[in-house]
Structure formats: structure tokens, C-alpha cells
Structure 1
């Protein structure tokens, strides 16, 4: 990691650790890439394994161990087992509806109770002697544990908000008690903080007003790459690639783009859409199945994303339009956008204009659309090779300036140093 000065020892505490399996894990892995691994210890609760080479120490907690019951955490030391970077735990078939509802309710009730801190975890923390507690919050148990460790060891807390869970988690009258406990835990945790991090500039601005302290946006980052201009267009249709999950009704928005193509003879001949998403997501997006303009390209391991984005003529980002979903997504920025920009390919975003992801696409000098008429107009403009190349070059230059790992890592370290100095 570039930057000067000492590296504080970071206790990364949360549901996930660094991994290539989820968007959150990827963001964590890329933000901490280059940070001395011996200065990072991860305490996590997910059942799938992290990328073991990203931290010096790992400890898995069990969120079912509450109220003084014996914990079953497990401390991992080198040598670490090999983990496939293409692993995707989301491919596990979902449980039946009734079983899933019961499990969700049970996990919510468990959040009311404090986690057991077994002697093994105390020894793990004693041995590592962290300088800062870094957490993503969201889970009441995790926030309570972070506060407890912070108070007992007199450590500052840096909370990194990666989605708008403050406003959306446990919404509704049936969850009012869970929501109250969550917000109480958040308020106590923020009293241990002098600053916070967010996933977007929009979120940082909104939360600065709420918490009355400095907020610093940090989203995914990747090493800078050499610019590769797009290939000369061939005789076939132009390739529109969508890469990412189809949850939160994103598949429906892709369907809107396909509908625009179907209803315009010229656009129908010019473009084809390829979707690269987890298989379980594709199976649940039946409206796209059998559409001759939409092809399913399979699920991409993260290591293959950069290669695939370079093949595209246009990279597509979509979000749902339903208000109950935009409340959740409005302040978040998609992990994949940095990959899109660094590929040097023009990006088309189809989603409500007020979402942070769409504002980020516009900051990068690319295209956005809301209505079907706007989608058609954008695609007509993007039929021009010059327009596509110029848009892709703007996106690439924006990525170098704003999201290259070299620059982000330096800022990331400085924020930790500021928190440590308080």
C-alpha cells in the first residue's frame, strides 16, 4: 500500500472478511490490498471461507452463541487452506419458503442478545493487540461486540457503511423492537468514533448531517491498467454486457432494455445483450429466458471480470425502479462500476436518476437513461464507434483519477491514521 507513516493494526470485525465470493468481500479485499497482512486480524461469522492470504490472523465466531453460552469460534493460523477464487456461496439452493421464513425470524431474534465472547477470542485479541476496530455494522450483535471490544481496550472505531441499512433494515411495525435495538447499538458505537467511512460521496454527505462528524467515501478500487482501445466493430451486432447479480429486481430492468431493442427494428439488428450472473439469479429471472436478444453467459469468477469487460462494446448497469428497493440502493455504488470504468468501455446506466450509482456513471462521463425513450436515444448515440470510444476513454481516465488502488490506498491509510490519532 502506498502512503507514508505507521500502519495501525486493524481488527476487521463483521459478518464477512476479505474474499472473492461476494461484492462486500471483494471491496474489503481490494481496499486492504497492500496493507501489511500482519497488521490485519479478521473476526468474522460467515460459514464460507475468506481469502486466507489477505490478513495475518482469522477467527470465526458463531452468531448463535449468545448470553454466555460457550462459543465455538475457531482461530486460524498459517498455513491456510487453499480457497477457489471462483467460489460463490450464493449458488446454494434457497430453502423452502416456510423454512426460510422461520430461519430469518430466528436469526432476527438472536440479534437481540449479546454474543458470547469465549476465552479463546480474548486471547486472540490480546495476542494481536489491535489499534482500531473497523466494522461494517448492520448486524446488532456485531455492533455490540465492536463496542465492547472498543470500550474494554480503549480503541477507536471506524464504521464503514456499504449500504443504506440505517433506513431500511428491520423496517415495518413487526420489526420495531429489532430496529430499536439496532439503532441503539449504532448510537453507542458511533460514540466510540471520531469519523466514519461510506460507499459513496452521496452517503457521506447524508450521514455527516446525521452523525455530525467527518465522513470519507471509499468504494471498490483496483490497480490501474493500461488503456486498451476497443476493437474495430465487426459485421455482427454490438455486444452489451451486464455483469453482476440479478437480485433486487435488476433482471426486470434488463428486460426493459431488451424490450426497447425488440420494438425498434434498427436497434434490434444492431445490439445483443449478454448477462453474466450467478446461476440461481438467472433461474429466477424467467422473463429473460428465451428472449433471442438476451444471452446468458454464466457466472464469472471475479478473476475473469476484467477480461470479459474488455470484450464488450457497451457495459450495462441497472437498478430497480420500485421505491421499496431504491430506498435501499439510493446511496450505494455498485462494486462492478470500477471494473467497468477501468476497462475503458462506455457505460450505460438504466435506473432512477437520483441513485448514487447513476450519479457515479455520470461523473465518469458516461450515459444514463430512465424511460424507454431515453434508453432508445442513448443506444442510438452509442451506435457510433466514436461515441463509444470517447465515452470509454472518459470512464478510464476517471477510474485512474478516482478509483485506482494506488491513490485510494493512500487515502485509506490516512483516514485510519486520523482515527488512531484521536
Structure 2
């Protein structure tokens, strides 16, 4: 089966959560049966390096023909450049890319866009094809789309995509329900797929020994959908550390650290660097607990509700206690409660976090059964299992 994977983000193991998830989900595809369409240039794909063996199977599109300069005039020239770029985009027929798709002749298209530009390009390149399209959404990023010309176009394209195609892929049931309701669409079948993991290279089982300085690790980006909760948690750790040795270690890309360090460094947050994916689980296993966060801000409500984060299955594989600081309605917390595989601190009040977290630190040995439960939950998310589910699902979708 020949598969076209469309989306702004490419498969790449050592990049962000979306890139890693795409790689883990679709790396069963033979390179000769794969074609990827991405916003990332081939030059940058080669620089990334962790897209192999698919790098040369990608083709790139460019939506913005004029780059917006970053200087003191940005806010003045940006609206004009945006209008020019949008005009040029509408005029561009992208003939070469369409020909590439036609020559490849895919049996099925998986469309996974995470930005408005990706959705616009989906419509530009794929709307006239009769090939089955499977929409795959990982996050509800769309709720922040502006109510303007582009925003209305994006809404209409997504609605048409979901209504026209009866087979969907979603990161979780919560997100599927949100989108079905918002866009008034009803699929024939939804496959819920989360970041799968390879169980064969997990840290070895060993008796947990508490560190002299209690180490809590966080791996991943700190976007607005994570940050307010992380920031409150960091304040709590800083207070606890005054009475007992406690550390909060952040593993993320350097650009993320540079963005947030002015706020986090004074709180004692330690930057651990950016870990290659193959090292993540062994490194996290050196900690005492692993932190996952979701925003308490009402503006991020649907994001917290519908988005089960990539890192949660990687945390389960790392065999350390998962601590979620998030609202009670967060998808992360639902997963943890359903699988009894971690601790949920459902407040952003710093003093309450201190109380709850101190209890965990003081009694950490009493929580180790949750680590076992987390590992056991991964049987449903092994690469072998998930790849088989996807292949069967694609076969059904192409027979419709």
C-alpha cells in the first residue's frame, strides 16, 4: 500500500512531540511506499538528520513567499506582508507538487496538519483528488483560529475534510468528540492512536532507591498549553527545596530554554539539555519522578481536555513515578486515573502543590505500584500493536 503523509511537520525522532509521534506511528512504511509533503525544506530535513530513511521521500511546499523581518518595524509591515503572501498563495497552482503526488499515485492519504498554513495547503493540493483521505488530529489547535478571512477558510476546510471522509484518526476519544461536535461531522470509524513505544529497549527493572536530592524531570516543550502549570509547579519545588533537597530538571530544545529561562532560572530550574530520543527513557529513569503539565487557563480549556500529550507513553516506558499537574478535566489526568498509573495534583495554587508534592516525596516508596501499572498499560501502546492497528485501519479505509 502506497501512503502519502501530508502535514506541516515531518516525521523526525529528535525533534518535537508531533515529529516524534509521527515517526513512531508510521515508521513501519517502506520508504518506496511513502511520500511525505511538509513545510520544512529538504535542506533543513537533511540538517535534522533524524528523518531517515525518509528524508529523500519528502517534498516541500512554501506558503509564505515573503519572509517577515524581525525588527522594530515588524508590527507595522507584518499585516501588509501577510496580505501579499495570502494573495500569492491563492494565485499559485503548485503544479509541480501536484504532479509529484499524481506520479506517486497513493492508495491513501493521511492528512495531519497542526497549523492554519497546513490546512490551507491540504485544500490546495488534495481537495480535487478521489483518493481516500484520513484526517489525523493530535491537538485542538484550531480553537484559537481568528475569526477573519483566513480563519473562516480554515474552519470551512476542516469541516469539509471531516464531513467528506468517514475514517478518522485522533490522538484520543476526547479530541474526537470535541471535533465531531464543533464541525457537525460524524465518522464511520475512528482509530485512536497515541505515541507508540518500543518496549524492547526500556530501562531494566531494578529496585527503586530514592535520590539524596529528589529529582523531578520534565521532558518536552513549554508552550502556553503547558507553561502556567509548569511555572506554578516550579515555584512549589523552589519552596520545598529550602527545607529538603529537591530539583526540577528540564530537558528541552535550547530555543525553548532560552525563551523561558528568565522566568525559570531564578526558581532554581535546572536545564538538562536536549536529549536525542534514543536516550530519553534511560535518562529519565535516573530521576525520582516525571512531571507532565496542562494549562489551567480557561483559554486553553479544549487543548487540555482533548490533547493527550506525547510524553505520557514515553514516561510510562521510563519506569518512574508520573506526576501530573493539571486541571481535573485534562486528558492527561483521565489517562492516569483510568490506568491508575500516576499522581494527579489538580491545582495551580502553589501552597497546595507544596502540600501535595511534599506528601509524595516523603512517601515515594508507597507509590511504586503506580510505576508498575504505568509499564503494564504500555502493552496497548507497543509499536508492534499500534502499527498492526494502523495497517488494518488503512485497509478498511481504502475498501470503502
Q: Could you say which residue in structure 2 is the equivalent of 1:190?
A: 162
Other structure's SS at 1:269 match: coil
Q: Structure 1's 100 and 289: CA in aligned 2 closer, same or farther, altered over 3 A?
A: farther
Residue from 205, 210, 217 that aligns with 1:229: 205
CA–CA distance in structure 2, aligned partners of residues 251 and 129 of structure 1: 43
Q: Distance in 1 between matches of 2:337 and 2:91?
A: 43
The answer to whether 1:370 aligns with 2:349 is no
* Cα pair distance change 1:283/1:58, threshold 3 Å: closer
1:132-151, aligned counterparts within 5 Å?
132-139=108-115, 142-143=118-119, 145-147=121-123, 150=126
Q: Does 1:32 align with 2:26?
A: yes
The RMSD of aligned alpha carbons is 2.9
* Contact kept in structure 2, 1:169 and 1:179, CA below 8 Å: yes
Contact persistence 1:143–1:186 (CA under 8 A) = yes
8 Å CA contact retained: 1:230, 1:389? no
User: Do the aligned partners of residues 116 and 418 (structure 1) sit closer, same or farther apart at CA in structure 2, a change above 3 Å counting?
Assistant: farther
- Residue 124 of structure 1 deviates from its aligned partner by 1.7
Displacement after TM superposition at 1:219 (Å):
1.9
Cα contact 1:37–1:54 (8 A) shared by 2: yes
Evaluate the alpha carbon distance shift between residue 250 and residue 192 of structure 1 in structure 2; reply closer, same or farther with a 3 A threshold. closer
* Among candidates 308, 321, 330, match of residue 333 of structure 1: 308
Q: Deviations over 1:274-325 (max 9, x none)?
A: 1112223223332321334x32212223232122111111001112221123
**Worse-superposed segment, 27-36 or 39-48:** 39-48
TM-score, normalised to structure 1, is: 0.80
**CA shift for structure 1 position 258:** 3.5
Q: Which residue of 1 aligns with 2:176?
A: 204
Corresponding pairs, count: 381
**Cα contact 2:115–2:141 (8 A) shared by 1:** no
The reply on whether 1:296 has 2:271 as its aligned counterpart is yes
Residue 179 (structure 1) aligns with: 151
Write the distance in 1 (CA, Å) between the matches of 2:372 and 2:79. 45
For 1:407 and 1:56, locate their aligned partners in 2 and report how far apart those are by CA, in whole Å: 28
Residue 391 of structure 1 corresponds to which residue in structure 2?
370
Aligned twin of 2:3: 10
- 1:199 and 1:243 map into 2 onto residues whose CA distance is 19
Distance in 2 separating the partners of 1:258 and 1:152: 50
**Structure 1 gap ranges (5+):** 1-7, 67-93
Separation in structure 2 between the aligned mates of residue 108 and residue 269 of structure 1, nearest angstrom: 56
Q: Is the 8 A contact 1:227 1:396 kept in 2?
A: no
Contact kept? 1:168, 1:328, Cα under 8 Å: no
CA pair 146-253 structure 1, distance change in 2 beyond 3 A: closer
Correspondence 1:344-383 to 2 at 5 A: 344-365=319-340, 366-371=342-347, 372=350, 373=352, 376-383=355-362
2:266 is paired with a residue of what secondary structure?
Answer: coil
Q: Does 1:406 align with 2:378?
A: no
Paired residues for 1:255-334 under 5 Å? 255-264=231-240, 268-285=243-260, 286-292=262-268, 294-334=269-309
Whole-Å Cα distance in 2 between the matches of residues 108 and 222 of structure 1?
43
Which piece of structure 1 moves more, 144-153 or 207-216? 144-153
Mapping of residues 40-59 of structure 1, within 5 Å: 40-47=34-41, 48-49=44-45, 51-54=51-54, 57-59=57-59
Instruction: Provide the residue aligned with 1:217 in structure 2.
Output: 192
> How far did residue 339 of structure 1 move?
0.7
Residues 210 and 288 in structure 2, CA contact (< 8 A), matched pair in contact too: no
Post-superposition shift, 1:150?
4.8
Q: Deviations over 1:96-130 (max 9, x none)?
A: 47527855874577457447344432432232111
Do the aligned partners of residues 257 and 311 (structure 1) sit closer, same or farther apart at CA in structure 2, a change above 3 Å counting? same
Instruction: Determine the C-alpha separation between the residues in 2 that align with 1:241 and 1:360.
Output: 19
Which has a greater percent of helix?
2
Could you say what secondary structure the match of 2:337 adopts? helix
Cα deviation, 1:381-404, whole Å, max 9, x if unaligned, reads 34334334211111111122x221
Gaps of 5+ in 2: none
- The answer to whether the 8 Å contact 2:217/2:290 transfers is yes
The SS at the match of 2:224 is coil
| Alignment CA distance shift 1:118-1:284 (3 Å) | closer
Residue by residue over 1:50-95, the C-alpha shift from the partner in whole angstroms, topping out at 9 and shown as x without a partner, is 61413772211121369xxxxxxxxxxxxxxxxxxxxxxxxxxx94
